[in-house]
Structure 1
Amino acid sequence: MTADTIGGVWTYACELAKALEPFGVVVHLACMGQPLSEDQSQYAAKTANLRIHASSYKLEWMADPWEDVAEAGKWLNELEARLQPDIIHLNNYAHGSLEWNAPAVMVAHSCVFTWWRAVKSEDPPAEWHVYYDKVREGLRNADMVVGVSRVFLDDVAALYGPLRQTRMIHNGLDPQDYHIRKKQDMVFGMGRVWDEGKNLSALASMHGRVGWPIRIAGSTRLEEAEDGQNAAGVFMGRLDREKIREVLSETPIYVLPAKYEPFGLSALEAAFSGCALVLGDIPTLREIWGDAAIYFPPGDAERLEFHLKSLIGTPELLAHRQKLAVEKAQQYSADRMSASYIYAYQELIA
């Protein structure tokens, strides 16, 4: 299985590996993007059936990646020759075009073209055409393409297809990893602050406007944030997994103001932690959460402010929304996710 160490794919890969253990599956995780952090290494070490193969090869969405992508391909083929796996599980696109001996499942988590269209309402500039060609070739050569939401899978198939075989499998988490404690007065969000698709600047703009402190965790270029937000501790920086779970357990309201989010794993973490969800009104998040979340147009700060003030000022409404989120989250367990992948693997092996 491939994974990048930078975004949510790392969490997804580790959660899936752990959930596959009862099926007797050993997962060899080929990591790319950047070296594992101490937190990531410690988490991986706790998963008995997970074997880490580390590298720092550039990912296909990074600047000038193609020499690294080619070298990573050689490395991956060497790993397959040595390990003789039953299934190749790719969480990136370009390496779908390699000659694999085992069947290859490719999971579509996100892509530059769908991101660009959602965030900037246009296609990427010409320098991204090579990326498009590499992604299309990888997707078309995969034996099965899995989408993490139906909406996103349809978008990928329309953009890059035809695809050989497709399957929709929602992401999942282990609810036992999350806890609900006494809630504190705050509104929380997390993600890559520099990613326009996460749109966390919309949440940061609520600082001083809704009566409760705003807190945002994730990698950020602090010099781009307003001095007042920094002084008030709006941006918490990057937190390790245990700290994130601790903060979520005490958070009453979680905001994901995304313009682009093929699944939104952080919202699931928040729901398992008893948070009311306030989400950007985009089709993928509507698919996942239905009536269990409150939605607002990602560019409408006044609507976001209204919803936050309504929740903060109405304890009964807040409690009801928290209950709805917790109940909906039960549909997205790691056990359900892993069972779906086992079925897909068996179908390809047969």
Structure 2
Amino acid sequence: MKASKRVLMTADTIDGLWRYAVTLAGALAHRDWQVLLAAFGPAPDDGQRAQIEVLDGVKLVAAELPLDGAGADRRSMEAAAATLAEIVRRESCDLVHLNTPMLAAAGNWPVPVIGVAHGCLSTWRAGARVGARAGKRDDDMAWRRQMMLEGLVACDRLIAPTLAFADELASACAVDRPIEVVYNGTLPHLPAGLEHGAPFAFTAGRLWDEVENIALLDGVAARLQEPFIAAGTSKGSRGQQARFDHLRVLGQLSERAIRAHLARRPVFVSAAVFEPFSLAVLEAAHAGCPLVLSDIASFHELWGGAATFIDAVDEDGYVEAIETLLRDADLRHRLGNAARCRAMDYSVKAMADAMVTQYEGVLKERQSARGLPSCVD
């Protein structure tokens, strides 16, 4: 019987990275990988701990490590990396999967490190400049950019969730090596209860993050007759605070609550000016929601032919597209089904199989470099 290998994986507790990590970890556990999760940010709540406890082969080994947010500095992130490297040694891990690649810049890692880039300061800033209402930049971002650049170099293998973001990352950070692509995946929803969907608009995400362009959607909401609901936190990890006058903001909701809203098949809207993937869009598509998305490369790569695309700064365009769908139940149904069919391409199985291929590939490379015979099937 083949012995399980061990991977240490990082996960933030405050956004979609938690769902990504837990979903992937559960799938890896069915593929002869034991997953040790290290949580960054606030301690996992009872619901998050329950998600881990039901997964055989997955365990939480560290919590409350510092986010790259308020109060963080390079020293605190280097200390977190050192903590992780010690866990790798103590737990005899075979591999490290960093969902924050900057951590690879420190830690003296004893095993290969895979960096999965879900975002990058340089590409985020390029996106933020597109927004008509972009705000001031923080003054302390230089160390984050430098540590990210060093981390990208230090990783044994780099992965991005879309080809579009891989290209952006390579250009913005002068990456002169291949960046592999593994599409994110999520579990499909149960069949929706409403055939033609409910006549309202819905968005979800980091409402405080200016690249999400929620301020534009607030203006759109002011011009719609039907409700426009927004789920997500309005306060960022570095103290950013967003306020909206017209969106019906529900705050941070549980995964179950989000799915309950999506099951009604509203028109799902994103005006993001920068988005490497967006699990929120994928989850909406799985629920059969018609998609109105910003006209950016990553969304075209994922949803071309299965969504309506609008220039990210075109408020009039968003109003027209949403109103057209809200007036036409048959059109909502057709576009919702198109989104659901496309979402099937981004399954948990496909994500996990592709990630295992990456894991095994980097282990083989390390063994070959040492002149050792490969024991990876």
TM superposition score category, shorter chain reference? over 0.9
Which is worse superposed, 269-278 or 211-220? 211-220
1:235-314 aligned at under 5 Å gives the runs 235-314=249-328
Report if aligned partners of 1:178, 1:269 keep a CA contact under 8 Å in 2: no
Report if aligned partners of 1:187, 1:251 keep a CA contact under 8 Å in 2: no
**Could you report, residue by residue, the CA deviation over 1:35-68 in whole angstroms, capped at 9, with x for unpaired residues?**
2123322222232222112322322354442222
**Closer, same or farther: CA 202–181 of 1 in aligned 2, 3 Å:** farther
Q: Which amino acid letter does the alignment assign opposite residue 43 of structure 2?
A: P
**Could you report, residue by residue, the CA deviation over 1:171-229 in whole angstroms, capped at 9, with x for unpaired residues?**
11122x444122333211111111111112222323353332111111125985345x3
Q: Which amino acid letter does the alignment assign opposite residue 200 of structure 2?
A: M
Report if aligned partners of 2:269, 2:293 keep a CA contact under 8 Å in 1: yes
2:50 corresponds in structure 1 to 42
**Partner SS for 1:27:** strand
**Closer, same or farther: CA 223–145 of 1 in aligned 2, 3 Å:** closer
What is the distance in 2 between the residues matched to 1:190 and 1:101? 39
What is the distance in 2 between the residues matched to 1:206 and 1:165? 40
1:107 Cα shift? 0.3
1:77 Cα shift? 1.2
Q: Which amino acid letter does the alignment assign opposite residue 243 of structure 1?
A: A
1:17 corresponds in structure 2 to 25
What is the distance in 2 between the residues matched to 1:331 and 1:70? 38
Report if aligned partners of 1:94, 1:138 keep a CA contact under 8 Å in 2: yes
Gaps of 5+ in 1: none
1:66-145 aligned at under 5 Å gives the runs 66-97=74-105, 98-120=107-129, 127-145=140-158
Q: Of residues 343, 352, 355 in structure 2, which corresponds to 1:341?
A: 355
1:343 Cα shift? 0.7
Q: What percentage of residue pairs aligned between the two structures are identical?
A: 28
Normalising by structure 2, we get a TM-score of: 0.86
What is the distance in 1 between the residues matched to 2:177 and 2:98? 15
**Partner SS for 1:332:** coil
Q: Which amino acid letter does the alignment assign opposite residue 67 of structure 1?
A: R
Q: Which amino acid letter does the alignment assign opposite residue 120 of structure 2?
A: C
Q: Which amino acid letter does the alignment assign opposite residue 138 of structure 1?
A: G
Which is worse superposed, 51-60 or 87-96? 51-60
Runs of at least 4 residues off by over 4 Å: 121-126, 221-224
1:154 equivalent in alignment to 2:167: yes
The count of aligned residue pairs is 345
**Closer, same or farther: CA 208–132 of 1 in aligned 2, 3 Å:** closer
What is the distance in 2 between the residues matched to 1:119 and 1:126? 15
What is the distance in 2 between the residues matched to 1:348 and 1:301? 45
What is the distance in 2 between the residues matched to 1:337 and 1:226? 36
Report if aligned partners of 1:31, 1:55 keep a CA contact under 8 Å in 2: yes
What is the distance in 2 between the residues matched to 1:100 and 1:261? 30
What is the distance in 2 between the residues matched to 1:125 and 1:5? 23
**Could you report, residue by residue, the CA deviation over 1:220-277 in whole angstroms, capped at 9, with x for unpaired residues?**
25985345x37xxx01111101111111111321111111111011000000001000
Q: Which amino acid letter does the alignment assign opposite residue 142 of structure 1?
A: C
Which is worse superposed, 37-46 or 273-282? 37-46
Q: Which amino acid letter does the alignment assign opposite residue 20 of structure 2?
A: Y
**Partner SS for 2:43:** coil
What is the distance in 2 between the residues matched to 1:94 and 1:19? 25
Report if aligned partners of 1:19, 1:334 keep a CA contact under 8 Å in 2: yes
What is the distance in 2 between the residues matched to 1:54 and 1:276? 39
**Partner SS for 1:52:** strand
1:327 equivalent in alignment to 2:336: no
**Could you report, residue by residue, the CA deviation over 1:12-34 in whole angstroms, capped at 9, with x for unpaired residues?**
11111112122121110111122
Q: Which amino acid letter does the alignment assign opposite residue 180 of structure 1?
A: A
Q: Of residues 183, 206, 219 in structure 2, which corresponds to 1:170?
A: 183
**Partner SS for 2:158:** strand
1:125 Cα shift? 7.0
1:128 Cα shift? 2.2
Report if aligned partners of 1:149, 1:262 keep a CA contact under 8 Å in 2: yes
1:58 equivalent in alignment to 2:66: yes
Give 1 or 2: higher helix fraction. 1
**Could you report, residue by residue, the CA deviation over 1:299-325 in whole angstroms, capped at 9, with x for unpaired residues?**
111100000111111222211111110
**Could you report, residue by residue, the CA deviation over 1:139-174 in whole angstroms, capped at 9, with x for unpaired residues?**
111110001111111121222244554211111112
Normalising by structure 1, we get a TM-score of: 0.92
What is the distance in 2 between the residues matched to 1:132 and 1:284? 22
What is the distance in 2 between the residues matched to 1:340 and 1:54? 26
Report if aligned partners of 2:186, 2:347 keep a CA contact under 8 Å in 1: yes
Gaps of 5+ in 2: 1-8, 365-377
